[in-house]
Structure 1
């Protein structure tokens, strides 16, 4: 009976994972058809939403500026603007991670300029949060910006760059566990594009940051509210130009009505890493936090 209960639990979990995957691919396939109303129909019925607007390279900048919209109206406007000039032709995955609350995909994305008919393809990473809904609550997309990969130890052979990215990840994760803000900021590109759930604000939406100084202020605000008790790895994936992880956080509130309370939540985030070992973009989402005990 005990083994049967475990199998039943496994099947329920896999049902949720497959539902998340189906929801995300339904959205992607609606993009291929290029009818905005059908694309919008794949959104969850309510937010808070999180959607990455097509980034633009501002004058004098090296990294494209990533804006975030968090309302249905903002997402609708973004899709109508994008599909006026561009069409999504194909997404070719090389890695997929499905959970009960998000789908992560890495691979290549092919698009077509509707004005010229020209098609381009590039490496991409995308996170589809669903929060267990029957639709997506966001689409967090990033295309590779860096030409050079991080050189690794020649002894690691064909996977040298991936192991080098893994080392950057391990350094950052250790710093997050310790609350070592200086190390995190030192590893950030001056124009790092950050979009992660803002737990200090408690709004359920993402913080949108565009420099390492803004990142430092965000981290200081978080640590003013919470002490990190533990960070555990649920999933991780390394490529030669990015890393992805799902983390389980355990934190203690420092102030407010919940001071002394211990909370747990999950985050799912990806980061592009430059050839110099700097984080160029750090984007993702997170679950609500649950008070323990």
Structure 2
């Protein structure tokens, strides 16, 4: 099994402290796909790339909202896709006909009440991981340079219990006592494990693209506001604090923009804000939780993901 070389990559790669949207090189002739880009981080990411000249395709669960983003100049075109329904994911993948230099798996949900997706998956891991796992697997031959997965600082709170195949499967199917925050942590840990496993498998798979990840720190987005509303008084306080202290969606999008457009990456890098606690600031390479680098856990999650989605990479 090849070494990830993460510590060496982190030591060698230095992102300038002032790196922001204006630091992105001209992107004329380059093609990007961003999932879930009708608001928040995804919309900010698509707009930034469009402003640098890129062709940007977005996906949207609500086609009318996606078309409004296109009409406003925030994207080039839109694909309709609902990550909570694998039949919709397959239809969306079938619409991909041209290659993309970079695909950014941005769409997500956070701290939702217990519910299952159309295919019987716990909704947070179903949306944040399994839907993206299936979509990326179906279009992998159309990705030429990078696959960027947007995780969260909450990846450090994910666990997948004892890490067995049975426990991973049960959590994906919502068959454990439910905590919205624990389920979210598992889904964001899954994003990191997915990135790591692609890096481990890419040579054998013959994939030309590298996999990298990013997290936005503490960003004041619609996703955070909606998620906080489900937590009662604690959520109200969190939402109020975010309005006062969290960074904007435009600033929160910088780590994933860096992951998508910063030159000369090796694969496996993880970008986040450089400020205290990785909550705010311009992007830099950061270190994930040790659990996110567990090769045995990432391999088992991959096996369960292929089994549940029916998508074999």
- The question of a shared fold, defined as TM-score above 0.5 by the shorter chain, is answered with no
The structure with higher relative contact order (CA 8 Å, sep 6+) is 2
Structure with more of its chain in strand, by fraction: 1
TM-score if structure 1 supplies the norm length? 0.25
TM-score if structure 2 supplies the norm length? 0.24
